[in-house]
Amino acid sequence: MTSGPSLAVLSAVLFGASPLLAKVVIQSSADMTPILLAGLLYLGSGIGLALVLAAQRINPVQEIRKLTPASLSQFSGSIVAGGILAPLAFAYSISSASAFEVSLLLNLETVTTTAIAFLLFREHVGRHVLLSKGLILLGAVALSVGPTPEARISSAALWMVAACVLWGLDNNLTRDLEMISPTVLAAFKGLVAGLFNLLIAIPFTERAPPMPVIFGTLVIGAFSYGASLVLFILALRKLGASRVGTYFAAGPFFGMLLSIGFLREQPTTFQWASSAIIAFGVWLLSRERHEHLHSHGDLMHSHPHWPDLEHRHEH
């Protein structure tokens, strides 16, 4: 049985590599527009997971029918927020910013996930978590503004903030959809969202990128979004949205190191200082312990238990 923390870390590593890989795609073809990039990434995740479902002989339509009207509304919201709008904002951000900067700003997703979990879903958030995520937010703001006297947030940073807010909402909407398997959930989201953005991109695309670039983008989406999302959902159901954010914060630093090692990006001293603040916030976050007292009322539920998903966590 794979533990929740290991699932979250592996998901973070796959997702953390996405800024570097997306930057490589954009640099390899001038015809790759942000809208086209967003559509291909999620379509790749949907196709990859659909092949997995086909190999397992699982009918995704039958799974989707298990959703109640309320759950279907949540699922639809997660598709719009996390599958259509968030990757579009991410693509516009990575097209004008360095992979180093975008990787660090991805830490804002842990902040937005926790904030939404606390404000909308009443998930417990202790003072330790608030301090930690306050430092992450401070570092992200410093990174976005930079050492300029005008103190204006860059457009790339604003796009990334929007993406993180949307992914944070997606994380919270997804965590309670336990009546269908994570693979079905992620595959359906990838196919619907990817095709939607792809159809929007076609009228604005003068010339299609080379086939190797298109195929490479689909493969990136299959792993950085498809596989990562399945692992993330499994971790959410074991740990909760706020706790998963703690482990998921490691992913952006992995992407940051990749941007330096492979793209040869040269961060400024100010960017290094901002990353140190964020890193300190993440370190404090890792020291948090879930030790508050609370009681659970009587609960009855019925849904399939998958071999890789066990409903067990400790308080």
The token duo for 315 is 């308080």
**CA 228 – CA 7 distance, rounded (Å):** 9
Q: Look at residue 304 and tell me if it is in a domain.
A: no
End-to-end, the C-alpha distance of the chain in Å comes to: 19
Range with the poorest average pLDDT among 11-20, 60-69, 136-145: 136-145
Q: Pick 80 or 1 by higher pLDDT.
A: 80
- pTM of full prediction above 0.75: yes
Residue 288: the pLDDT is 62
Q: Look at residue 312 and tell me if it is in a domain.
A: no
Per the structure, the count of domains in the chain is 1
Kindly list the distances between the CA atom of residue 259 and the CA atoms of 24, 100, 102, 219, 266, in Å, as whole numbers in the listed order. Answer: 10, 6, 10, 19, 9
Per-residue pLDDT of 32-55, as tens digits, reads 999 999 999 999 999 999 998 998
Q: Look at residue 296 and tell me if it is in a domain.
A: no
Split at pLDDT 50, 70, 90, the class of 168 is very high
Residue 25's domain comprises 4-286
| Sequence-ordered list of residues with C-beta below 8 angstroms from that of 165, at least 6 positions apart, any chain | 112
Q: Look at residue 306 and tell me if it is in a domain.
A: no
Q: Look at residue 293 and tell me if it is in a domain.
A: no
Identify the top-confidence range among 139-148, 149-158, 273-282: 273-282
| Sequence-ordered list of residues with C-beta below 8 angstroms from that of 147, at least 6 positions apart, any chain | 270
Q: Look at residue 265 and tell me if it is in a domain.
A: yes
Q: Look at residue 180 and tell me if it is in a domain.
A: yes
Per-residue pLDDT of 198-207, as tens digits, reads 999 988 888 8
Q: Look at residue 8 and tell me if it is in a domain.
A: yes
Split at pLDDT 50, 70, 90, the class of 225 is confident
Handedness of CA 118, 86, 158, 108 (dihedral sign): positive
